[in-house]
Amino acid sequence: MSDGIPEGLIKPEFERRYRELLGEEYDILLSFMARKPIPSIRLNPMKVDPDWLVARLEESGWVLEPIPWYEYGYRVRKGPERLGNTEWHQLGLYYVQEAASMIPPVVLSPNPGERVLDLAASPGSKTTQLSEMMRHEGVLVANDVTPDRVDALIANIQRMGSINVVVTLSDGRRAHQFFGEEKFDKVLLDAPCSSLGEVRRSWGALARWSPKSVNKIARLQLSLAKAAYRVLKKGGVMVYSTCTLEPKENEWVVYNLLKLGAVLEEPQLEGLRWRPGLERWMDWEFGSELRKTMRIYPQDNDTIGFFVALLRKPT
């Protein structure tokens, strides 16, 4: 065992890369990867008075701790064993969502009345959060690529009562063909990834990890990111995010968007500890602009790992 992680899951190349990336903090990263994350929920202010629901949950014996970066987010220090089995959950009064997963919608900051696209939307945690932040005003298009994923997306949208959401089934890499060029005020691409940030939930990501698999998924991510940028209006903003720590899936993708003319903006989130993105990695020189992206390590806020970049398309 290595810090609670089963022997054989940590491959030599993984250790080499992440020791180079984190130095003395590498062992701290492993110790957090070996711990289960703290459960958390996101209240639905469009269905219930959040203060009323917090009071009812606490009366029932729940111990809740506010998440600083989202006003309706709470860690559940004590509660039922399965948060998804309560009547409050079935009624769509809250969504079981990891605390770091709430960050990309907050960074995108959609407004009521805007036209917004969630390009890889299933299972719907960020879609429903965006819808609530929009106060159900405007249009939010939630897209995914396979019928099974769209089924899960629709189920959560219906449960949460997200009435301004339109669901589409299409290959996000051809979004400009499906939706047209420069159609959206804001775009979220929470891209499919190698999921290293999710190791706290499951060892599967470590078992599947390899440089070859990272390179393969990075090509998909870049295709999706370029498509997301094409459907973004001039002057609009997009968020590119992943739940992985891999530079090839994160800074490399954003660096290639900058080549298209995208401009990075530095997010401002109260109560969140994050590290600037990498200026260089292995043979790549990304440049100082990448410091405006957010690397969120599990040990920084006791969450899963995440990467978030906020980009604007110039007018």
| Predicted confidence (pLDDT) per residue in 248-272, tens digit | 999 999 999 999 999 999 999 999 9
Structural domain contains residue 60: yes
* 241 and 190 inside one domain: yes
Task: Report pLDDT for 2.
Answer: 44
Q: Which residues lie closer than 8 Å to 190 by C-beta, 6 or more apart?
A: 104, 118, 120, 126, 239, 241, 242
Amino acid sitting at position 28:
I
Q: Indicate the residue among 96, 114, 147 that finishes a domain.
A: 96
* 54 and 152 inside one domain: no
Percent helix, percent strand, percent coil in the chain, to nearest 5: 40, 25, 35
How many structural domains are present in the chain?
Answer: 2
Task: Report pLDDT for 1.
Answer: 37
* 192 and 290 inside one domain: yes
* 188 and 299 inside one domain: yes
Give the active site residue among 121, 243, 257, 278: 243
* 184 and 303 inside one domain: yes
Looking up residue 171, the CATH number of its domain turns out to be 3.40.50.150
Structural domain contains residue 4: no
Task: Report pLDDT for 5.
Answer: 87
Identify the domain containing residue 74 by its residue range.
Answer: 37-96
* 78 and 138 inside one domain: no
Looking up residue 69, the CATH number of its domain turns out to be 3.30.70.1170
Among this protein's residues, is 243 annotated catalytic?
yes
Structural domain contains residue 284: yes
* 85 and 211 inside one domain: no
| Cα–Cα distance measured from residue 167 to residue 246, given in angstroms and rounded to the nearest whole number | 30
Structural domain contains residue 5: no
E-strand stretches of the chain: 40-43, 63-66, 73-78, 94-96, 115-118, 139-144, 165-169, 184-190, 232-242, 263-265, 275-276, 280-281, 284-285, 294-296, 306-312
Structural domain contains residue 122: yes
* Phi, psi dihedrals of residue 143, rounded to the nearest 5°: -115, 145
Task: Report pLDDT for 311.
Answer: 98
* 61 and 178 inside one domain: no
Structural domain contains residue 6: no
Q: Which residues lie closer than 8 Å to 2 by C-beta, 6 or more apart?
A: 10, 30
Structural domain contains residue 150: yes
* 64 and 168 inside one domain: no
* 114 and 250 inside one domain: yes
Structural domain contains residue 57: yes
Closest of 297, 310, 186, 176 to residue 244, by C-alpha: 297
* 243 and 169 inside one domain: yes
pLDDT digit string (tens) for the chain, length 315 residues:
344 888 789 999 999 999 999 999 999 999 999 999 999 999 999 999 999 999 999 999 999 999 999 999 999 999 999 999 999 999 999 999 999 999 999 999 999 999 999 999 999 999 999 999 999 999 999 999 999 999 999 999 999 999 999 999 999 999 999 999 999 999 999 999 999 999 999 999 999 999 999 999 999 999 999 999 999 999 999 999 999 999 999 999 999 999 999 999 999 999 999 999 999 999 999 999 999 999 999 999 999 999 999 999 999
* 63 and 114 inside one domain: no
pTM: 0.96
